[in-house]
Amino acid sequence: MESERLQKAGYRIIGRHSAVKVCHWTKKSLLDRGVCYKEEFYGRELGIKSHLCLQMTPALWFCDHKCVHCWRDTRVTSSVWEGEPDDPSLILDLAIRAQRELLSGFGGNPVVNRKKFEEAKNPKHCAISLAGEPTFYPKIAELIEECAKRGMTSFLVSNGMHPKVLEKIPSPSQLYISVLAPNEELYRRLCSPLIQDGWNRLLQSLDVLRSFKGRTAIRITLIRGMNMDDPAAYAPLVIRAEPDFVEVKGYMWVGYSRSRLKLENMPSHADVTSFANELSSATGYQISGEQPASRVVLLKR
């Protein structure tokens, strides 16, 4: 039943535990109607293009959290890996094939940028962040390596619940840790962890971030009325992790989160900018970019 609901929502389930979904901004880019904030923020340095992005997950059904803002139906989330993991090369092959099939309808649209459409058949960036917790996948290190072998950049977004996995993975193009709260009490309320030591694991992952060899980022998702009252309270976590970047991003009222939150919980871009300015003052990180359409502000060390 959940598989059917996901497919109706635009997901393509591949293999035993992975999925692909074409990003809204990939579609916009094919129509020359804008690009995502990742291209705007990091495209020049890393060569990221929205129409060449493959948004996927190798751990669709698995996560340690049932976050209040998650767009998934968290009732089907498992905190225990089950079954034999698919091979990373197979996952990427199937993901690229699924991406092509999902984009095939754009071929008949006369306003599509034809050059971009042909290029999009061979994505060059892998956003390992669609749903679930990717570090659950037992072969996540090999998946990152497979991306590199194919000349693809990769962004890995983690909730920080598996610090020992993060210690051992090769460097993706950028490693993210998601932070939803500045303290354990609020973390438990918003993330509803399925494990007892989630907050300690998050802190351990922030320590891993500090010593990580590659590019690093913290993503703070803001929910109005829940975790935005004290921007400076997040400063110790940022200072502890010393990431290269901090993305301050507003929660979007989409998917199943609409049954848990209200429209007014979605902050405006002005709200996000105000929060980012206070966090900048508290950490010394400088604001270096913003995209109002995605309600996101970038801070850089």
> Domain residue spans in the chain?
2-300
Judged against a pLDDT cut of 60, whether residue 37 lies above it is answered with yes
In degrees, rounded to 5, the angle at the alpha carbon of residue 62 between the alpha carbons of residues 182 and 205 is: 35
Which residues are paired to 11 by β-bridges? 21
CATH architecture of 2-300: Alpha-Beta Barrel (3.20)
Highest mean pLDDT among 4-18, 69-83, 222-236: 222-236
What's the average model confidence in pLDDT over 154-176? 94
Q: Are strands 11-14 and 18-21 parallel, antiparallel or unpaired?
A: antiparallel
The overall pTM is greater than 0.85: yes
Side chain identity at residue 282, one-letter code: A
pLDDT, greater one: 52 or 71: 52
Residue 61, pLDDT score: 86
DSSP string, 32-64: TS---HHHHHHHHHH---GGGEEEEES-TTB-S
Give the mean model confidence (pLDDT) for residues 241-245: 97
At 73, the pLDDT band (50, 70, 90 cuts) reads: confident
Q: What is the mean pLDDT of residues 160-176?
A: 94
> Residue 71: pLDDT above 90?
no
For residue 1, what pLDDT band results from cuts at 50, 70 and 90?
low
Alpha helices in the chain (DSSP H): 2-8, 24-30, 37-46, 88-103, 114-120, 140-149, 163-168, 184-191, 198-211, 235-241, 269-283
* 234: amino acid identity, one letter: Y
Average pLDDT over all residues of the chain: 92
- What pLDDT score does 163 carry? 96
Q: pLDDT tens digits for 114-153? A: 999 999 999 999 999 878 899 999 999 999 999 999 999 9
Averaged pLDDT, 80-99: 93
CA atoms of 30 and 38, how far apart (whole Å): 16
Q: Is residue 255 over pLDDT 80?
A: no
291 closest CA partner among 37, 50, 43, 38? 37
- Range of weakest confidence among 98-107, 169-178, 219-228, 251-260: 251-260
Q: What is the mean pLDDT of residues 204-229?
A: 95
Between CA 245 and CA 285 the distance in angstroms is 8
Say how far apart CA 31 and CA 268 lie, in whole Å. 26
Residue 296's pLDDT is: 97
Q: In the chain, what percentage of residues exceed pLDDT 90?
A: 79
